[in-house]
């Protein structure tokens, strides 16, 4: 008799469903588990339907919002405190729903904030915690005694509560090492190092994009309007249409200062210095999640815009109010108009603040290369998304990108100099882009190299990226890994001593033992 598949009821607890890497992972976990016939619900403390992923908007994932009214900060401080407060509120809401609304879940998955685990333990269900990065390493050091005392309490709570989880996973080997440094007591007292589960990408969207258009073409209709018109303007009609005509340099990150997007603008300017004429048929697209209510987003965007204008890569579209030196009251009104695009379409740098999933796919499909500028990134899903679209990646040689990107610096440099020998390259070593120091000139040099490569080598780098994304970072691989952890938790709950046998095997053995007893009685 074939083993019957176990279908679990799973609840995922996450602080806020904005557009970000952690949120993308949570939704991919939910989608992957649903595709494996499990039932999944998400509990979150914040949701803005105008700034979230399409799977949330269209109801693909069932989302319960609790505590949408809670602030993220108070007077610009207390982000960690309010994240904890939000997760506590969500957790108690979930407990109340189970007790009084008759909801039933077999397993609880949570991430980012571990303080909720003791509360969720009230439900007596196994808990799986996904650690994106230890919170203590996300906080800036401070000489303030108050801030130190505050962090001492927060860090102590994080260590204590995370140890209460029944299973822990992390997003990269880099994070695994940081986890061991942050929580030696958890690693040494029986739990060991957490499992590495790489965040996934949905390869199907990239394949569907390829089916709609050939790689030599760009679907301008699905791009943001300002990008579409800029590409048309930058295209060199004397060159046969290709993915590098024009040479579209793409940066995708949330508009946050810590993402170091300034490096992308300065690198693009450096290309002009190293190779005069490079910018004439090239375009830099700065795209990312943007929330007008977020001060960091607004400040980062303004900073990037000023930098592009000062370097002569962009032009400001001045309003009549600015030209007429209007009053402070008028200036205050115009500041509310900040959502409007302030960069003229004849600029070399184009900004895209927030975009649909379809537009994101078109941006990745149109890009000649992706610049990934953050340092110390825990994993970084954007480079893997770019690789799935056969787009070479240039990233800072630090953190997660060291695990996702195969650096082709030496091999590609040899091919440009004509000194490369034909040799069979192991697929695990096939280059998918470049890893560089966080230096504008070094990034610029790699962009110029990519533009100068012959079509065969350039296309092969793209295909290497697609293959690596499919083999290592697919949604199926991730969902299977999450399911293995969840089923193992369920197995241990049924029989804590059971380690190797599946639940079904255990049940089959029980049935066989019953049959043997009956047959003995009959004899």
Which runs of E-coded beta strand occur in 58-190?
Answer: 62-65, 107-111, 127-131, 167-170
158-185 pLDDT tens trace: 999 999 999 999 999 999 999 999 999 8
What whole-number percentage of the chain has pLDDT above 90? 55
For residues 382 and 377, give the distance between their C-alpha atoms in angstroms, rounded to a whole number. 11
At 426 the pLDDT is: 58
Domains and CATH numbers, the chain: 9-200+474-509 (3.40.50.2000), 215-472 (3.40.50.2000)
| Confidence (pLDDT) at 37 | 94
Closest by CA position to 162, among listed 211, 231, 113, 210? 113
pLDDT, tens digit (0-9, with 9 covering 90-100), for 39-71 = 999 999 999 888 788 899 898 999 999 988 888
pLDDT for the residue 232 = 86
The number of residues in the chain equals 523
Question: Cα(267)–Cα(506) distance, rounded to whole angstroms?
Answer: 60
φ and ψ at residue 371, rounded to 5 degrees: -100, 125
Mean pLDDT of the chain: 84
Q: For residues 413-424, b (16+ Cβ closer than 10 Å) or e, as one string?
A: eebeeeeeeeee
Using alpha carbons, select from 35, 90, 43 the residue that is nearest to residue 62: 43
Per-residue model confidence as pLDDT tens digits over 224-246: 888 888 888 888 766 655 678 89
Round to whole Å and give the CA distance between 450 and 128.
Answer: 42
Q: State the alpha helices, DSSP H only, in 128-238.
A: 145-162, 173-182, 184-186, 203-212, 225-234
Q: Is the pLDDT of residue 508 over 50?
A: no
Question: What are the C-alpha distances in Å from 312 to residues 39, 372, 523?
Answer: 53, 22, 95
Q: Tens of pLDDT along 402-414?
A: 999 999 876 666 6
Flag whether pLDDT at 423 surpasses 90: no
Looking at residue 506, its pLDDT comes to 41
pTM of the model: 0.80
């Amino acid at each position: 008799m074939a083993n019957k598949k176990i279908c679990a009821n799973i609840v995922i607890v996450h602080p806020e469903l904005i557009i970000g890497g952690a949120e993308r992972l949570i939704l991919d976990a939910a989608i992957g588990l649903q595709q494996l016939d499990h039932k999944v619900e998400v509990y979150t403390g914040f949701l803005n339907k105008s700034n979230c992923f399409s799977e949330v908007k269209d109801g693909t994932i069932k989302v319960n919002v609790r505590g949408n009214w809670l602030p993220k900060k108070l007077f610009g401080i207390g982000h960690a405190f309010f994240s904890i407060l939000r997760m506590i509120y969500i957790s108690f809401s979930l407990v109340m729903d189970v007790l009084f609304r008759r909801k039933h879940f077999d397993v609880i998955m949570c991430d980012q904030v571990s303080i909720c685990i003791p509360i969720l333990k009230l439900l007596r269900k196994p808990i799986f915690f996904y650690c994106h990065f230890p919170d203590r390493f996300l906080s800036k050091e401070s000489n303030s005694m108050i801030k130190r005392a505050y962090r001492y309490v927060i860090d102590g709570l994080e260590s204590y509560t995370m140890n209460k989880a029944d299973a822990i996973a992390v997003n990269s080997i880099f994070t695994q090492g940081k986890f061991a440094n942050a929580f030696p007591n958890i690693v040494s007292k029986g739990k060991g190092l957490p499992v590495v589960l790489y965040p996934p990408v949905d390869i199907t969207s990239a394949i569907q994009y390829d089916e709609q258009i050939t790689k030599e073409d760009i679907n301008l209709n699905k791009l943001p309007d300002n990008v579409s018109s800029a590409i048309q303007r930058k295209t060199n009609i004397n060159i046969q249409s290709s993915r590098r005509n024009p040479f579209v340099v793409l940066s995708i990150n949330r508009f946050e200062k810590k993402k170091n997007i300034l490096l992308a603008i300065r690198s693009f300017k450096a290309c002009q210095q190293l190779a005069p004429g490079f910018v004439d048929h090239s375009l830099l697209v700065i795209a990312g999640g943007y929330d007008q209510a977020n001060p960091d987003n607004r400040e980062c965007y303004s900073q990037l815009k000023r930098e592009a204008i000062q370097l002569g890569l962009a032009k400001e579209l001045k309003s009549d109010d600015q030209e007429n030196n209007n009053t402070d009251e008028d200036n205050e009104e115009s500041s509310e108009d900040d959502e409007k695009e302030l960069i003229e379409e004849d600029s070399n740098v184009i900004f895209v603040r927030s975009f649909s999933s379809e537009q994101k796919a078109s941006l990745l499909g149109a890009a000649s290369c992706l610049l990934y500028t953050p340092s110390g990134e825990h994993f970084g899903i954007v480079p893997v998304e770019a690789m799935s679209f056969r787009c070479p990646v240039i990233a800072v040689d630090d953190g997660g990108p060291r695990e996702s990107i195969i650096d082709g610096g030496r091999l590609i440099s040899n091919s440009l100099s004509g000194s490369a020998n034909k040799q069979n390259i192991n697929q695990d070593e096939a280059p998918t882009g470049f890893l560089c120091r966080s230096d504008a000139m070094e990034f610029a040099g790699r962009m110029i190299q990519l533009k100068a490569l012959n079509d065969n080598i350039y296309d092969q780098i793209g295909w290497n990226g697609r293959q690596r994304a499919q083999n290592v970072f697919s949604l199926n691989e991730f969902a299977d890994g999450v399911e293995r952890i969840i089923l193992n938790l369920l197995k241990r709950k049924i029989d804590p001593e059971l380690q190797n046998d599946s639940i079904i095997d255990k049940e089959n053995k029980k049935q066989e033992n019953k049959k043997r007893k009956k047959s003995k009685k009959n004899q």
